[in-house]
A and B are shown apart, each in its own frame.
Chain A
Amino acid sequence: MTLTKFIIVLSHIPIFITALYAAFLYRSLGKALKRFSLFLFLSGIIQGISLAFWFLNKNNFPLLHIYIAIGFCILAWFYKTVLKGFINPKIINITIVIFLLFTLVNSLFFQTIFTFNSYALVLECILIIILSLSTYIFFINDIAMESRIENITSINWINSGLFIYNTSSLVIFYFGDYFTRHFPEYINRYTWVLHSFFSMVMYTFFYIGLWKRRRR
């Protein structure tokens, strides 16, 4: 196993640990964190299967198509719960529907399920960045602080993790095509190592977020 492969495999460990930790805590979690845990379970299962496919040298892109579609729905649902009372739920619902339609059309006609669905991934990153940045701004507000949003510290960590990962991923996925065409393969591999690093950072933030939850 090369160092690059080792790092990519290693990057899955925080995912499994965080998913298991969320499963362990699930009953004691608040509403928002419970919904977020669903995303962690989805990540754990999909990443596990895709890792197995990767070892078996099978194409695991179909899993990515499912992961992106369902993953975004759960994250949007999570933000809808966090921002309840401050955001019109219709905005999130409409975003979910449009995103699902876009991924469906993309998977059927443009980037089929056996190819890398960078368009959907880029759109997901854009939407999550908008949501996470807005949540940051929202949390700064005094009234939001006074309204005692449950588990605000945990949500801040999770939001930070999502923001860091999606910002870096947006650049990596966006320039992915450019790198593939203009740089040698080993540099391309480094971009995936970089992606794995940010993934590890994100799941570490998620773990800290769960750790810092309000004890009942």
Chain B
Amino acid sequence: METSSQISLLTALLPLIGVIFIIAVGVVILNQHFQKNLYRQKLQQEEIKNRHQQELLTSSILVQEQERKRIAQDIHDELGALLSISRMHLVQLEEKEINQGPHILPALQNIRSLTEKALGSMRKISHELMPPQLETFGLIKTLEAVAGHANKTGNIAICIDAADHFPELSWPFRLGLYRILMELINNTLKHAGADTINIELNYTNGIISCTYTDNGRGIQPGKSKNGLGLKSIEGRASSLGGNIHIGNEGERFRAIITIPNIE
């Protein structure tokens, strides 16, 4: 009798194990399903966060550029005008002084010379803040002008090689690429000890690629790759929706900037 009861309990218990197994499998499968969806949602959240950061970066760069433009214009239009008028008055005074007596002429000539220097510095600062030819003549011409000025010094030779079909870029891309290249040139001049810079600009299927090389020391391993300048370059490239790969080609420094979807 006891054996029969035990068998009966066993026959009742065995399917229960099956039931518990079904529940466990159900929970595991559903959990896997949730994990997959949760991972997808997490990726979406990260994407939104990244997009938001990119927008912030782009807008902060835009604000910075607008401010630079305003300062450059103010310096050029207001301070430049004032200095030009001062110079004109000084020239007139010099002419009067020549007729009346030469005792204060050297002082006047000195002031005029200083004013001319101030005018020159002002133009230089203003152009550096926002090169006027970039807006008028485009990126290639501006870079060629920069190369021309640098080459005149005899310390460095900058070679610009742009593809024939290189398009006229819209203002944010033009300015962004110009700033990146100027920062790279600046770095080469300051740290690389190079005497040649090559800039290649290509355009294929809506993608801009720019290869920058110099024959300097290159990046020392683990040393200057995290510098503020390179971070700013990366930030600018990212704000244009592109990327930059910085490294060495042999012992030479090389940076490849890729900007897709410029249309």
Contacts and interface: CB of A to CB of B under 8 A. Distances in A.
Contacts of B37: 85-88
A144 B30 contact: no
B166 interface: no
16 contacts: A85-B41, A86-B34, A87-B34, A88-B33, A91-B30, A91-B33, A122-B19, A126-B23, A131-B30, A133-B27, A134-B26, A134-B34, A143-B45, A170-B19, A177-B12, A182-B5
A: contact size bracket: 20 to 34
Interface residues of B, number: 19
A78 to B, nearest CB: 15
Contact of A134 (B12, B16, B19, B30): B30
Contacts of B26: 126-127, 130, 134
Interface of B: 5, 8-9, 12, 16, 19, 22-23, 26-27, 30-31, 33-34, 37-38, 41-42, 45
Contacts of A91: 30, 33
Interface of A (DSSP majority class): helix
A181 interface: yes
B136 to A, nearest CB: 50
Contacts of A177: 12
Contacts of A129: 23
B34 A137 contact: yes
A143 B27 contact: no
A178 interface: yes
A138 interface: yes
Contacts of B31: 134, 137-138
A137 B31 CA distance: 7
A175 B38 contact: no
Nearest to B16: A174
Contacts of A175: 12
B38 A143 contact: yes
Interface string A169-201: 010001101100110000000000000000000
Given A83-B34, A87-B37, A126-B23, 15 more contacts: A86-B37, A87-B30, A126-B22, A126-B26, A133-B27, A134-B27, A134-B34, A138-B31, A143-B41, A143-B42, A143-B45, A170-B19, A175-B12, A178-B8, A182-B5
Contacts of B22: 126
Contact of B38 (A88, A144, A181): A144
A2 interface: no
Nearest to A147: B41
A57 interface: no
Contacts of A85: 37, 41
A143 B8 CA distance: 48
A125 B23 CA distance: 10
A143 B36 CA distance: 12
**Residue among A91, A127, A143, A170 with max Cβ neighbours from chain B (10 Å):** A143
B238 to A, nearest CB: 26
Nearest to A130: B26
